[in-house]
C-alpha cells in the first residue's frame, strides 16, 4: 500500500512538472542593442520591461552601447553574433542591400499591432520601393524655441504658434535684430552696434540639413527634382533660402557662425543663460528644456519665405536575418515603436510617427498635453499641427544615397556659413561632385 502511494505521489509530481518543463523549453531569448543616455535609456529599459511582462515567454538581453555603436555592432556582425533587434543609423540601408536585415514589408503580417496605413507617408526607411528596414521608431521635427523673458525685456512680441500666422523671414530678422546685443548694450538695429563683441544673439539657427531644409521647402525648393533625376539645391529657390540663413550670420550678425557657435553651450543652456533668445533646432531639445525649471520658454511656428513647410525625420529599429526568433523579434520591434509603450519619451524627446496620434483627441492628450514640462503652451499648434499638416519628405530617409551626398553638401555649406563663398557658388560646386550619386527618391 505504501509503495503504491509513493508511486502515485511520484507520478503526480512528474505530471506537475510537465507544464513548467514545457514553458522552459518554449522560452525565447532575444538580444536588443541600443544607444542613448539619461531619459532615453531609462525610457527604453522601461519599455523592454513592460514587454517582458506582457510576453512572459520572452526574455530580452538589453545591450546598451552608448559609445562607438557602429564599430561594436560591426564586430558582432563579423563574429556572427549580431543582435536580434537593434537601433540603427542611415547605414541600415546598406545592411538591407547586403541582405543582412529583414525587409519589413515581407514580415509585417506576422505582427499586425502596427498598421502600415497608420504610419506617416514619408516615415519609412526604404532601400527600394518594395524593400524597407521599417517605419520610424519615433519622429522629431525642426522647432523654433525661445526665451519668453528675453522677449519681454526687449519689448518684442514672441513668434506666433499657428502656421497660418507664422513670421516671414523679414519679421523674424526684425525681432532677431532687437534681441541681439553687443557688449555696450546696443542691439543689432543700432548704428553703434559692434558685431565683433556680441554678448547675446537674437537667434541660433541650426546649420545642419535639418535646420535649413524647411526654409528651402518654404521657398519652393527641394533637394532633388520631382522625378529624382537631378540635385536641385543649386537652383534659385534653394539657393535663395540657404543664402538668407547665411545672411543672418554674415550680414546682419544676429546668428552665430560655426566658429562663434563653438564658444556657446548647448541650445537648452544658451536659452537658459540668455546667450540666445531663439533657437531653431530639433524638437528633441524640448526634453532638455523641460528640465530647466527657472526657464520661461516657448515654441513658435517656423519662419517662412512663401508657404509653411516642415517635415518629420527619425531613425528606425532593424531586425537581423540571423535571428532564430523572427516572430518574437518583430513583437519586440513593434512594441518599442508603439508610442503607447514609450509615453515618457514622447512627452519631450520624441514625437509620434503614427497618424492616429495626431488625429485622435485621446491619444493627443497622452503625449501633447500643453502645460506639461516638455509641452509649453502653443506646442500643439507650433509643433504638432504645423508639422503634421505641412509634412514633406525628409531628405535623410527619402533621398537615395543621402549620407554620401550630405557628406559633400555639408562641408560645401560650411564655406557659406563662414562667408567665404555664396550659396550659389558652393552648391554649384557640390552639384558637380554629387551628380554620380544622385539616384532618385526612395518612396
Instruction: Say yes or no: 247 and 127 in one domain.
Output: no
Q: What pLDDT score was predicted for residue 129?
A: 87
- Number of Cβ within 10 Å of residue 314's Cβ equals 22
Measured CA to CA, the distance from residue 335 to residue 321 in angstroms comes to 19
Instruction: Say yes or no: 129 and 105 in one domain.
Output: yes
Q: What pLDDT score was predicted for residue 17?
A: 42
Cell numbers linked to 438: 544622385
Instruction: Say yes or no: 327 and 389 in one domain.
Output: no
| H or E segment to which residue 130 belongs | none
Q: What pLDDT score was predicted for residue 26?
A: 77
Task: Work out the widest C-alpha separation in the chain, in whole angstroms.
Answer: 111
User: Which range marks the domain in which residue 48 is found?
Assistant: 28-140+314-367
Q: Judge whether 14 lies within some domain.
A: no
CA 69 to chain CA mean position, Å: 18
Instruction: Say yes or no: 339 and 394 in one domain.
Output: no
Cell numbers linked to 110: 506576422
Instruction: Say yes or no: 152 and 198 in one domain.
Output: yes
Measured CA to CA, the distance from residue 159 to residue 173 in angstroms comes to 12
- Number of Cβ within 10 Å of residue 64's Cβ equals 14
DSSP β-bridge partners for residue 98: none
Q: What is the DSSP letter of 418?
A: T
**Length, in residues, of the chain:** 443
In this structure, what CATH number is given to the domain that contains residue 354?
Answer: 3.40.190.10
Strand, coil or helix: 171? helix
Q: Judge whether 372 lies within some domain.
A: no
Instruction: Say yes or no: 248 and 394 in one domain.
Output: yes
Q: What pLDDT score was predicted for residue 204?
A: 98
**What are 270-310's pLDDT values in tens digits?**
999 999 999 999 999 999 999 988 899 999 999 999 999 99
Q: Exposed e or buried b for every residue in 345-370, given b needs 16+ CB within 10 A?
A: bbbbbbbbbbbebbeeeebbeebbee
Spatial CB neighbours of 188, under 8 Å, sequence gap ≥ 6: 176, 177, 178, 180, 181, 195, 202, 252, 253, 254
Q: What pLDDT score was predicted for residue 443?
A: 76
User: Could you tell me what percentage of the chain is helix, strand and coil, using 3-state DSSP and rounding each to the nearest 5?
Assistant: 45, 15, 40
Instruction: Say yes or no: 136 and 147 in one domain.
Output: no
Q: What pLDDT score was predicted for residue 378?
A: 97
Q: Judge whether 19 lies within some domain.
A: no
Measured CA to CA, the distance from residue 308 to residue 139 in angstroms comes to 19
Residues 384 and 368 sit within 8 Å (Cβ to Cβ): yes
Q: What pLDDT score was predicted for residue 22?
A: 40
- Number of Cβ within 10 Å of residue 49's Cβ equals 12
Instruction: Say yes or no: 129 and 148 in one domain.
Output: no
Q: Judge whether 156 lies within some domain.
A: yes
Measured CA to CA, the distance from residue 198 to residue 188 in angstroms comes to 9
**Burial of 82 by CB count in 10 Å (0-12 exposed, 13-18 middle, 19+ buried)?**
buried
Q: What pLDDT score was predicted for residue 38?
A: 80
Instruction: Say yes or no: 34 and 124 in one domain.
Output: yes
Total number of domains constituting the chain: 2
Instruction: Say yes or no: 162 and 243 in one domain.
Output: yes
Q: Judge whether 157 lies within some domain.
A: yes
Q: What pLDDT score was predicted for residue 261?
A: 96
Q: What pLDDT score was predicted for residue 272?
A: 97
In the chain, which stretches have pLDDT less than 50?
Answer: 1-25
Q: What pLDDT score was predicted for residue 372?
A: 93
Q: What is the DSSP letter of 384?
A: I
Amino acid at each position: 500500500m505504501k509503495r503504491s502511494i509513493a508511486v502515485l505521489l511520484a507520478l503526480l509530481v512528474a505530471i506537475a512538472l510537465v507544464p513548467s518543463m514545457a514553458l522552459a523549453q518554449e522560452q525565447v531569448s532575444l538580444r536588443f542593442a541600443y544607444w542613448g543616455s539619461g531619459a532615453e535609456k531609462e525610457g527604453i529599459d522601461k519599455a523592454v520591461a513592460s514587454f517582458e511582462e506582457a510576453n512572459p515567454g520572452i526574455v530580452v538581453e538589453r545591450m546598451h552601447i552608448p559609445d562607438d555603436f557602429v564599430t561594436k555592432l560591426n564586430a558582432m556582425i563579423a563574429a556572427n553574433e549580431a543582435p536580434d533587434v537593434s537601433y540603427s543609423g542611415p547605414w541600415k540601408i546598406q545592411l538591407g542591400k547586403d541582405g543582412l536585415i529583414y525587409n519589413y514589408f515581407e514580415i509585417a503580417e506576422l505582427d499586425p499591432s502596427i498598421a502600415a496605413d497608420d504610419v506617416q507617408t514619408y516615415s519609412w526607411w526604404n532601400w527600394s520601393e518594395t524593400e524597407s528596414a521599417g517605419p520610424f521608431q519615433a519622429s522629431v521635427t525642426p522647432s523654433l524655441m525661445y526665451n519668453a523673458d528675453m522677449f519681454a525685456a526687449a519689448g518684442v512680441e514672441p513668434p506666433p504658434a499657428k502656421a497660418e500666422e507664422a513670421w516671414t523671414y523679414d519679421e523674424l530678422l526684425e525681432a532677431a535684430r532687437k534681441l541681439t546685443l553687443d557688449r555696450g548694450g546696443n542691439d543689432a538695429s543700432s548704428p553703434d552696434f559692434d558685431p565683433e563683441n556680441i554678448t547675446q544673439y537674437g537667434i541660433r539657427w541650426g546649420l545642419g540639413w535639418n535646420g535649413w531644409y524647411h526654409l528651402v521647402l518654404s521657398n519652393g525648393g527641394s533637394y532633388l527634382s520631382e522625378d529624382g533625376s537631378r540635385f536641385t539645391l543649386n537652383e534659385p529657390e534653394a539657393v535663395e533660402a540657404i543664402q538668407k540663413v547665411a545672411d543672418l550670420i554674415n550680414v546682419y550678425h544676429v546668428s552665430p557662425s560655426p566658429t562663434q557657435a563653438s564658444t556657446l553651450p548647448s541650445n537648452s543652456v544658451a536659452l537658459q543663460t540668455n546667450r540666445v533668445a531663439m533657437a531653431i533646432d530639433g524638437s528633441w531639445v524640448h526634453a532638455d528644456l523641460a528640465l530647466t525649471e527657472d526657464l520661461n520658454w516657448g515654441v513658435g511656428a517656423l519662419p517662412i519665405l512663401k508657404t509653411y513647410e516642415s517635415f518629420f525625420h527619425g531613425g528606425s529599429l532593424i531586425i537581423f536575418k540571423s535571428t532564430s526568433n523572427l516572430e518574437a523579434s518583430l513583437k519586440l520591434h513593434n512594441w518599442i515603436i508603439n508610442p503607447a509603450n514609450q509615453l515618457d519619451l514622447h512627452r519631450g524627446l520624441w514625437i509620434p510617427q503614427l497618424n492616429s496620434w495626431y488625429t485622435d483627441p485621446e491619444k493627443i492628450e497622452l503625449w501633447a498635453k500643453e502645460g506639461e514640462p516638455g509641452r509649453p503652451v502653443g506646442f500643439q499648434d507650433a509643433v504638432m499641427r504645423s508639422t503634421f499638416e505641412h509634412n514633406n519628405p525628409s531628405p535623410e530617409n527619402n533621398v537615395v544615397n543621402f549620407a554620401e551626398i550630405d557628406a559633400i553638401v555639408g562641408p560645401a555649406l560650411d564655406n557659406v556659413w563662414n562667408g567665404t563663398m555664396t550659396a550659389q557658388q558652393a552648391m554649384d560646386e557640390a552639384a558637380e561632385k554629387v551628380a554620380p550619386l544622385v539616384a532618385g527618391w526612395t518612396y
